């Protein structure tokens, strides 16, 4: 089942994806019906099924649509221009800014990880996230040849994402400051950790 770049060819298909994203982000895969989506778009159920044959294909297409600009930006930041450290700085800065500006995508990703549906996770990994992850993994390899590049790539993305996932509780913890939610501050912190350790 290949769903990569499935966004439909019409303006209606684009509207379906745009309307689906906040619905899935708010209620999760199980909490949204095709009827809910058709109603939000203002089309019939039959018209919705004309564009997407089932909810799972629509869901993966929605994730792909939400991640498409991020994937392009990640891969552009990680091209072979500059040193590994310069590429890391571009990646962390871009990815942090993108995650800060798209709470629906963050919520959707977080829900999917919590739901743990093996079929959907495999589809998302293979059809949405694989190419950007390969680019991040290559950077991890270039930065530290003797490390486990897969684990370092996951840690790079995780350091950024966890700051946003914990935003609602961090304010109540000792030392929590408003500036800690600033994407620039988060990016600088993560870059410092990855390039020089906690002393930076």
pLDDT digits (tens, 9 = 90+) for 108-150: 888 888 888 898 889 888 888 898 999 999 999 998 888 899 9
pLDDT digits (tens, 9 = 90+) for 60-103: 899 888 888 788 888 888 887 889 999 999 999 999 999 999 99
Report yes or no on whether pTM surpasses 0.85: no
Domain that includes residue 153, residue range: 64-196
Task: Tell me whether residue 109 is in a domain.
Answer: yes
Based on the structure, what is the number of domains in the chain?
Answer: 1
| DSSP symbols for 81-146 | SS-HHHHHHHHHHHHHHHHHH-HHHHHHHHHHHHH--HHHHHHHIIIIIHHHHHHHHHHHHHH-TT
pLDDT digits (tens, 9 = 90+) for 160-190: 999 999 999 998 999 999 999 999 999 999 9
CATH code, 68 = 1.10.357.10
| DSSP symbols for 21-73 | HHHHHHHTTTT--HHHHHHHHT--HHHHHHH-SSHHHHHHHHHHHHHHHHHHH
Q: What band does 9 get if pLDDT is binned at 50, 70 and 90?
A: very low
Task: Tell me whether residue 163 is in a domain.
Answer: yes
């Amino acid at each position: 089942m290949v769903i990569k770049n499935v966004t439909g060819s019409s303006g209606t298909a684009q509207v379906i994806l745009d309307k689906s994203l906040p619905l899935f982000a708010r209620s999760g895969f199980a909490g949204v019906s095709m009827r809910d989506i058709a109603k939000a778009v203002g089309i019939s159920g039959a018209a919705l099924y004309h564009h997407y044959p089932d909810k799972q294909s629509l869901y993966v297409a929605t994730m792909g649509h939400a991640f498409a600009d991020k994937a392009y930006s990640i891969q552009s930041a990680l091209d072979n221009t500059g040193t590994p450290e310069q590429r890391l700085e571009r990646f962390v800065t871009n990815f942090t800014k993108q995650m800060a500006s798209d709470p629906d995508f963050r919520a959707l990703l977080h829900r999917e990880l919590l739901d743990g549906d093996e079929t959907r996770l495999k589809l998302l990994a293979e059809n949405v996230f694989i190419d950007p992850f390969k680019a991040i993994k290559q950077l991890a390899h270039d930065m530290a040849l003797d490390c486990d590049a897969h684990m370092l790539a996951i840690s790079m993305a995780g350091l950024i994402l966890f700051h946003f996932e914990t935003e609602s509780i961090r304010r109540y913890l000792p030392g929590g400051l408003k500036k800690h939610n600033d994407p620039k501050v988060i990016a600088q912190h993560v870059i410092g950790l990855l390039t020089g350790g906690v002393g930076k």
